[in-house]
Amino acid sequence: MIRDIAAPLKFCRFMADGKIYNGALHGNMADLIEGDFLGEFSILRMSYPLERVKLLPPITPAKIWCVGRNYAGHAGELDHEIPKEPLIFIKATSALAGGGDPVRIPEWAGRVDYEGELAVVIGKRCRKVSEKDALSYVAGYSCFNDVTARDLQNLDGQWTRSKSFDTFAPFGPVVVLSNTMPADAALTTRLNGSAVQRDKFSNMIFSVARIISHISMFATLEPGDVIATGTPEGAGRVRPGDRVEIEIDGIGTLSNPFISDH
């Protein structure tokens, strides 16, 4: 296969033959990578066909930062005002799941919603960085599903429990290594094959650069930190037996089945 060397590398992590590897995805092949995209790495002359691997979350971040209400349509559907500055919260890293992994919904949790989001992966440590410089600290971008137990979010009055159930953070399948997303790039979420969310990242209330700058004013961002940048209009209920796919232009599709957690 001829590689498009102009396209940014799609970094992935996967299990094959009982071992965990870093890889570069192209077509239905994963080339082995020695090293890590946050440091030095080289692509080895060895590949696995995708059907023989199990994809894992592309990295295990130290922190998952999230932005609430970052598209006017979604803030409106939850009956909230447009925020004056980015609304930041944390999701537990123990909630991470890879592409294809089942998301488990306990019956007692009540209503559970999908939230398709663009994830930013930080590449270099930064603190008090300006909006103008912020994108130079980005390693790449990925897809994220900020699964939320909506009833418990309203009941608790804060969001930690509702956002942090095990498997409520599907992430991947790849990190596209690039500082910026194309100006017109968009996200589409499909529920059982039907499009339920579609919006361009240019419609975010707060840009990726603004969000990074904002967080870095109070917390040091570390290499590998993930920032889920908020969900557009159309977040909605998901039930056991459903499948949610989040497709982002230039990245790929994060697809997860939802099952009942007994």
Interface positions with Mg ion (CB under 5 A): 115, 146, 231
C-alpha closest to that of 174 among 59, 63, 92: 59
What minimum distance in Å lies between the beta carbon of 115 and Mg ion? 4
* Lookup: tokens for 144: 């994220």
What minimum distance in Å lies between the beta carbon of 229 and Mg ion? 9
State which residue, 153 or 231, has the beta carbon closest to Mg ion: 231
State which residue, 146 or 245, has the beta carbon closest to Mg ion: 146
The torsion defined by the Cα of 114, 259, 241 and 120, in degrees rounded to 10, comes to 30
> Which backbone phi and psi does 193 adopt, to 5 degrees?
90, -15
Alpha helices in the chain (DSSP H): 72-77, 150-156, 160-163, 208-216
State which residue, 115 or 245, has the beta carbon closest to Mg ion: 115
> Which backbone phi and psi does 72 adopt, to 5 degrees?
-55, -40
State which residue, 101 or 146, has the beta carbon closest to Mg ion: 146
User: With contact defined as beta carbons under 8 Å apart, do 80 and 145 qualify?
Assistant: no
What minimum distance in Å lies between the beta carbon of 235 and Mg ion? 8
Among all residues, whose Cβ is closest to Mg ion?
146
What minimum distance in Å lies between the beta carbon of 258 and Mg ion? 17
